[in-house]
Amino acid sequence: MALIIDLIYVFRELIKLVFVVITSPFGLVGSLLMLGSNY
């Protein structure tokens, strides 16, 4: 039972990691655009 819980936890962490890697370039571009529009 504990093994299944560990697998679910690791799977969720991997999904979050992939999500951050995919969205971070867009987040950087978005933050640069926000900073650029302020000046």
pLDDT digits (tens, 9 = 90+) for 21-39: 888 888 888 888 877 877 6
What pTM value is reported for the model?
Answer: 0.51
Give the mean pLDDT of the chain.
86
10, pLDDT greater than 80 = yes
Burial of 14 (0-12, 13-18, 19+ CB in 10 A): exposed
Q: What is the pLDDT of residue 30?
A: 82
The size of the chain, in residues, is 39
Work out the end-to-end distance of the chain between its first and last CA atoms, rounded to an integer number of angstroms: 56
Residues of the chain above pLDDT 70, percent: 97
Let me know the angle formed at the C-alpha of 21 by 30 and 14, rounded to the nearest 5 degrees.
145
Domain ranges of the chain: 1-37
20, pLDDT greater than 70 = yes
